[in-house]
Chains A and B, each alone.
Chain A
Amino acid sequence: MVNVDKTLDCRGLLCPMPILKTNSVIKKMKIGQVLEMVATDPGSKADMKAWTKRTKQELLEMEEVSGLFKFYVRKTK
């Protein structure tokens, strides 16, 4: 299990709000810290992959439990 420094609740929010919020929150974190983001939009899977790739953040883990998507991102820059 990953050690989480901060959790961001994006349940009920739709594309692109989870990504915009994640981007905004991670800017205020320290390098090496891990953000847990929780979302319910099925589109967030592809969006988070694309966002971590573009912004060069590290997507550590992605899990899906009955319609709830959890993402663990480590701030690398």
Chain B
Amino acid sequence: MSELGNSATLAGSLREEYRKLFGEHWPPWVGGVLLGLINVFLFIYAQPWTSLDGVLNWGDWFFRLVGLYGGQAPLSPLLRTGSIINLGLLFGAIAAALLAREFAVRMAPLRELVKGFIGGVLMGVGATLARGCNIGGFFSSISALSLSGFAMMLGLGIGAYLGLRYLLWEVERGVAQSDGSVPATGNEGESTWRAIQPFLGIVFILLALAGAFIYDGVGYAQRGGILLLGVTLGIVNQRSRLCFVQAFREPFMTGDSVMTKGVIVALVVSVIGFAILKWTIMERAEEFVRPTFWQGSLIGGLVFGIGMVMAGGCGAGTIWRAGEGHVKLWIALFGYILSASLFRAFLQSSGLIPKLGKAIFLPEVLGWEFTLIVVFGVLLLWYLAVTWNEATGKFTAM
């Protein structure tokens, strides 16, 4: 009898755990800590987190398949590290959304779909100029102690502000309408769908694990590890909804600073991890320091910033929101893939690449100690600025 009682309690507490993990969204700072840690693991294991690497790989494949690009075939999307991270992110987000019963194919009005595509195209151009999306060019670049990361941060801030001005103008003109294309509620299959979603989520997790085992079985164990780290990114992103778009946009909109602080927490964790690794392993010190300071990163950040606000998702957010079932973000991702690949081909043939800037590794200029003081100083200033803005509403639009 007592055994039965125990198992009932165990089931009860497991249900409670499940409710906490998948019934509620995690606080953004929790997402920040976890994303920072996963980025450090990715760096140790393979390369820092970025969406552009995989997106370029997909675009190159697309244009090769339609016959636009000739020459040697790019590495398979199933082997290219950046592509595996993106696939894992998408997979993890689908699994988490299903486990939380938040997955649904969500149609959007035509105008929103067009905005998603244009936003995606701008993101592709911006990310190519900065040699990374907001993740690779900003988050991982600052973590890698590359000065280009700060130039992109400034560009993203200006771009997010301009993008928001456009959206506000659109709303004031009354052109952004819901067309009621999303069905109301309570149709027949609804309760069955609710009931089976968590089981489908578990199936997706098992498929990801099976994928990792298959990689291991065919001699690519490291790729399997990358896939699982990508899946973890997707789960953390979907559950915490940590959003880089909101981190840059919200201070100019409602003034809410919770997402900005989540991103700052992610940066603190990630910078500490990268710094320890770079400081101790000399050969890796200058990894991921891109020659885009300042022109490429600043202009790229600005264009990317406008694009991500229009699309409603950043380099990572576009992928995990697509995983939740938003059609607009699938279209944004498609635009991002096409434009990144085409724009890079244009840059390579134009001879403009050397004009994008220089590679500046901060510890080489400032020394290690002073570099860390400056990096954490900038993050502290950002933190204080958004906290002050939240209290005073100085820069808010509402």
Interface residues of A (CB under 8 A from B): 9-17, 19-21, 23-24, 40-43, 45-46, 50-51, 53-55, 65-68
Question: A66 with B186: in contact, given A12-B179, A46-B241 (CB under 8 Å)?
Answer: yes
With A12-B109, A24-B172, A55-B398 known as contacts, the answer to whether A50 contacts B180 (CB < 8 A) is no
- Assuming the A-B contacts A16-B249, A54-B254, are A11 and B171 also in contact, with contact meaning beta carbons closer than 8 angstroms in the complex? no
Q: Given A50-B256, A67-B104, is A17 in contact with B171 using a C-beta cutoff of 8 Å? A: yes
Distance (Å) between the CB of A53 and the closest chain B CB? Answer: 8
Chain A residues touching B, majority SS: mixed
Is B108 part of the contact surface with A, judged by Cβ < 8 Å? yes
The residues of A that contact B186 with a CB separation of less than 8 Å are: 65-66
Within the complex, the shortest CB–CB distance from A63 to chain B, in Å, comes to: 11
User: Which residues of B are interface residues toward A (Cβ below 8 A)?
Assistant: 25, 102, 104, 106-109, 112, 164, 167-168, 171-172, 176, 178-182, 184-186, 190-191, 194, 241, 243, 245-246, 249-250, 253-256, 258, 312, 321, 324, 326, 328-329, 390, 393, 396, 398
Closest-by-CB residue of A relative to B164 is A16
Report chain A residues within 8 Å CB of B179: 12
Minimum CB–CB distance from A50 to chain B (whole Å) comes to: 4
The list of the 8 closest CB pairs from A to B, nearest first, reads: A11-B182, A50-B256, A54-B254, A14-B312, A12-B182, A20-B171, A68-B185, A9-B178
Identity of the chain B residue whose Cβ is nearest the Cβ of A10 in the assembled complex: B178
Residues of A within 8 A of B107 (CB): 12
Q: Are B106 and A12 in contact (CB under 8 A)?
A: yes
Residues of A within 8 A of B190 (CB): 66
B25 engages A13 (CB within 8 Å): no
Would you mind naming 25 contact pairs between A and B with Cβ atoms under 8 Å apart? A9-B180, A10-B178, A12-B108, A12-B109, A12-B179, A12-B182, A13-B109, A14-B112, A16-B246, A20-B168, A21-B171, A23-B398, A40-B104, A42-B102, A42-B241, A46-B241, A51-B256, A54-B255, A54-B393, A65-B186, A66-B190, A66-B194, A67-B102, A67-B104, A68-B184
